[in-house]
Amino acid sequence: MKLHEIKSILDAEILCGGDKLSDEISLACGCDLMSDVLRFAKEDVVLLTGLTNIHVLKTAEMANIQCLVFVRDKTPAVEMVQEADELDMVIMKTRLPLYEACGKLYKEGLGDRSYE
């Protein structure tokens, strides 16, 4: 699924990386627990989360995750978005809660194999 499709399905707002929306992604992970992301998520997933602290970005960087979607209309700090931009990441935010955002993407065919 292309990132612009994810943006459209979630009616999301792009915070950075708008030039990379034609990139393709096949797996997703919805999680507020970075410990679990570090333990279970595969690389190249889109990470949907309601947490906006700097450790979400650091976790994503360590785990080679290039796309973050903040749910429940959560907005990360400007500095965090700038850092993500420098790391060539794509950040979006959506008004949808985590469950609904994941459900919509799954229903539209974004894979469910991000866990081992």
Partner 1 sequence: MKHAASFTRKDLETDLMNSIYEMDYQVGSRDFAAAGDASRSIKRTLQQIGVDTSVVRRIAIASYEAEMNIAIHSKGGKMYLSVNSDKVIVATEDFGPGIENVELAMTEGWSTATAEIREMGFGAGMGLPNMKKCADEFFIESKISEGTKIKMIFKL
Residues in the site for partner 1, rule: CB under 8 A? 32-39, 43, 51, 53-56, 58-59, 61-64
Q: Which residues contact 75 (CB under 8 A, 6 or more apart)?
A: 15, 52, 93
Q: How many helices (H) and strands (E) would you count in the chain? A: 5, 5
CB of 42 to partner 1, least distance (A): 10
CB of 102 to partner 1, least distance (A): 17
CB of 12 to partner 1, least distance (A): 21
By the 8 A CB rule, do 104 and 96 touch? yes
CB of 53 to partner 1, least distance (A): 6
By the 8 A CB rule, do 75 and 103 touch? no
Give the integer Cα–Cα distance in Å for 53 and 24: 26
Q: Which residues contact 32 (CB under 8 A, 6 or more apart)?
A: 49, 50, 51, 98
